[in-house]
Chains A and B, each alone.
Chain A
Amino acid sequence: MNRKILNIVVNGESHQVLIEPHWTLLQVLRNEIGMMGTKENCLEAECGVCTVLLDGKAVNSCILLAGQVEGCSITTIEGIGDPEHLHPLQQTFIECGAVQCGYCIPGMILTAKSFLDENPGSRPSRDEIREAIAGTLCRCTGYSKIIDAVATAAERMAISGGSQ
């Protein structure tokens, strides 16, 4: 087989993974590195549940070949907080009741984080938030509370001084 070594940094930790050329970043994250918070669904960049941060920017890991991210830094939902130190978005998603079935939430939070990090200290309007998360679908249709949660997190992050 034409396997190759992939060098990748996931949540700050360096990994070397033996990959097949057709494997996607999503497959590597879930099957090889065990980051099961990154979800799998449409596999065509329509739904956004597989969203991770590639060098800080939200991308669909289901349509990125692992070979394309050689040497890159990936952040998954496991990498932005832990139960003792939640990211402000994780905290506000809980407080606002933004989580129903939960399947879209890792992707939703990372999509929102990418957006807020791009505009540090800003207080985006509800419409701006809607547009920023358009690529991530919530099949429970719980968008109102998701937008509440993102807006509340933006407010707190603006007060505390930017990116976390």
Chain B
Amino acid sequence: MSFDFHRPATVTEAVDLAQRLFPTARFIAGGSDIVIQINRKKIDPSHLIDVACLPGLSGIAETSDEFTLGALTKYHTIETHPAFAGSLRALIEAASVIGGRQVQNIATIGGNIVNASPAADFVPVLLALDAVLDITGPNGSRSVPLQDFIVGPGKTSLLPVEIVTSIRLAKLPARSATAFVKEGRRRAMEISVVCVAACLTLEAGGSRCASVRLAIGAAAPKVFRAKAAEAYLEGQLADQTSFAEAGKLAAEECAPISDVRASADYRRRLVSIMVERALTACFERTGEERR
């Protein structure tokens, strides 16, 4: 275990450095995952490029139609951001269960995304919100939907010389709400057995679902959208019967494994009930907005 520690001053410098040191360099942001991996000798980079202090990659900006979250934004910043207390509450719900407060103060949302853990808690929420990532590399910048970015467990389409700089979320239409629900073996400091993020928009003036987005974590090789359940719900009455049916469909779509935390069968049952709960929470929250 021996590496050089680099602190570039700009994104361009960081990318240049990564290119020069390829393939022996890794980027480090908060470090809450990579330092543990190094200590466990799972990875052994010769160079660490610290991006934590790069200018312009932190904080939350808002325009009339979208939010832009800097990739270095910390979970605790998300948790306390007033604009997320309404229809985007799932962002706060997920941010507040990632590690303890000490981790929420250093871990970055960009780090959670590029790690591509199948059990990542923040990724389902971003996926349910159709997040788009902005990426900078040697050939300039590109934008990729999160849906296409994560390709497998721990695998993304990010090149080793590229940096995720921001995450963009379109604002939700009226009569929308989100919810994040998580089950672990205890209530705090736990990797999810299953987690579900839901985003529900009701038809204007009616009680049918206009659009539904459901993202499920820890129940397949990567966080995935339950497309069959989403398609079924569109145009359905938003009620307990349709939510329960969506849960069943999502359970059929998932591909869980049995591991130290739970059996595949138990995970499948959880998916069914948690999808129903997440949708119910969304529905109740659209009511809060109406009042």
Contact = CB atoms under 8 A, between A and B. Distances in A.
A136 B100 contact: yes
Interface string A1-31: 0101000000000000000111010000000
A24 B36 CA distance: 11
Contacts of B32: 45, 60, 63
Contacts of B35: 24, 63-65
B2 interface: yes
Nearest to B97: A134
B102 A135 contact: yes
A134 B38 contact: no
A75 interface: no
B26 interface: no
Interface string B7-20: 10000000000000
B189 A134 contact: yes
B100 A21 contact: no
Nearest to A66: B5
Contacts of B102: 45, 48, 51, 58-60, 111, 135-136
A136 B2 CA distance: 30
A136 B102 CA distance: 9
Interface string B26-54: 00100110011011000000001010100
Nearest to B96: A131
B194 to A, nearest CB: 20
Interface residues of B, number: 27
A54 B31 contact: no
A158 interface: no
B185 interface: no
Given A65-B31, A68-B31, A134-B188, A43 B39 contact: yes
Given A44-B36, A68-B52, A114 B101 contact: yes
B100 A134 contact: yes
Contacts of B105: 54, 57-59, 114
A115 B101 contact: yes
A46 B102 CA distance: 10
Given A2-B4, A63-B31, A68-B52, A45 B36 contact: yes
Contacts of B188: 131, 134-135
Contacts of B4: 2, 21
A67 interface: yes
Nearest to B2: A22
A112 B149 CA distance: 38
A135 B189 contact: yes
Contacts of B100: 45, 48, 111, 134-136
Contacts of A48: 100, 102
A59 B75 CA distance: 13
A95 interface: no
A45 B103 contact: yes
Interface string A121-164: 00000000001111111000000000000000000000000000
Contact of A135 (B39, B52, B103): B103
B3 interface: yes
B244 interface: no
26 contacts: A20-B2, A21-B3, A21-B4, A21-B5, A22-B1, A22-B2, A45-B99, A45-B103, A46-B189, A48-B102, A54-B105, A59-B105, A60-B32, A63-B35, A64-B31, A64-B106, A65-B5, A65-B28, A67-B5, A67-B50, A68-B31, A70-B7, A131-B188, A135-B99, A135-B102, A136-B102
Rank and list the top 4 A-B pairs by shortest CB-CB distance, nearest first: A135-B100, A134-B188, A67-B5, A21-B5
